[in-house]
Amino acid sequence: MRWKGRRVSSNVEDRRGGGGAKAGGISILGLVVAFVAWKFFGVDPQQAYQATKQVTSQGQSAEVKGLDNPTPEQQEAMQFVGTVLADTEDTWTKVFQEQLNAQYKPPKLVMFNGVVNSGCGTAQAAMGPFYCPADQKVYIDTAFFKDMRSQMGISGEQNQTELNRNDQAGDFAQAYVVSHEVGHHIQTILGISEQVQQARAQASKAEGNRYSVMQELQADCFAGIWAHHNQQRTQFLEQGDVEEAMDAAHKIGDDYLQKSATGQVVPDSFTHGTSQQRMKWFEIGLKSGSINSCDTFNQPI
């Protein structure tokens, strides 16, 4: 993925230098559940808190600051996230104008280390990246991308030539993560998230989970829309990038995660969709570039 040399967004908040929250204890069981279920690709914070409820939601705010002496790797992480966020801003500004005749208001993105205070409460890194509709911000822990490459088999399987292909293996899969969370922001400003929340409040648990799946699949489709239009605008994709994102989508499907963790699959408990569904809807957005194609609520998923 070609990303260096383009505009870097000014909507990134660097909270990696400490401060912002203090956490209490967390049970081993709660950590494992949170890691397995929500390690990748955004969460409904309320659901994640149920799994990690021993993390205090009353963290004390402290001075928010960036790193005093960031390493080259930490500096590059900030540049990468800022560039991808800028790409989503440019893409969705154009899409909103052309397809909705509306103005796009981008989210902020917060990079943190370990624990952070958000408008949805205190969040821990084990929850993975998430979008908080209350403050309209995306939250990503600094260690996430490294963990993602390790957990998803992106590093350690290629030779050094392959690892040096883009200076960072798995970069398009990582950009997919950011664009998926921005997809949740799109849902919020279009009023979709509120409608889903209202529907879930009146539904059974299984039906509520089905609404959650449809919402997550739509965010995957929106990520595909971003990739479609950003490719037209910047020609940023390289050979193997799309396959990389599809592999990431496969490995964060509910069925894949459940089978890997327990050896069993319980469809009624799905909240994000199967591997096949996640790959399907990302590809729909990638091929069409159209918001209308991402109506997961009125089409077979």
CB 237 within 8 A of CB 172: yes
| pTM (2 d.p.) | 0.78
pLDDT, residue 129, reads 85
Mean pLDDT, residues 38-53: 46
d(CA 288, CA 179): 16
Confidence of residue 26 (pLDDT cuts 50, 70, 90): very low
Structure-model confidence comparison of residues 133 and 48, the more confident one: 133
Q: Where are the domains of the chain?
A: 12-294
Distance CA 122, CA 115 (A): 7
Query: Which residues, in sequence order, are bridge partners of residue 132?
Result: 137
- Collect all residues with Cβ–Cβ distance below 8 Å to 73 and sequence separation of at least 6: none
Whether 52 shows a pLDDT value over 80: the answer reads no
Q: Mean of the pLDDT values across residues 140-149?
A: 77
| Region 261-281 average pLDDT | 73
HEC letters along 80-102 = HHHHHHHHHHHHHHHHHHHHHCC
What's the CA gap between 172 and 1, in Å, rounded?
6
Q: How far apart are the first and last CA of the chain?
A: 29
Q: Which pLDDT band, with edges at 50, 70 and 90, does 76 fall under?
A: confident
Nearest alpha carbon to residue 95 among 212, 240, 233:
233
Unique residue bearing structure tokens 């894949």:
256
Per-residue pLDDT at 144: 77
Residue 174: exposure state from Cβ atoms within 10 A (0-12, 13-18, ≥19): buried
Distance of CA 84 to the CA centre of its chain: 12
Residue of higher predicted confidence among 270 and 251: 251
Residue 179: pLDDT band with limits 50, 70, 90? very high
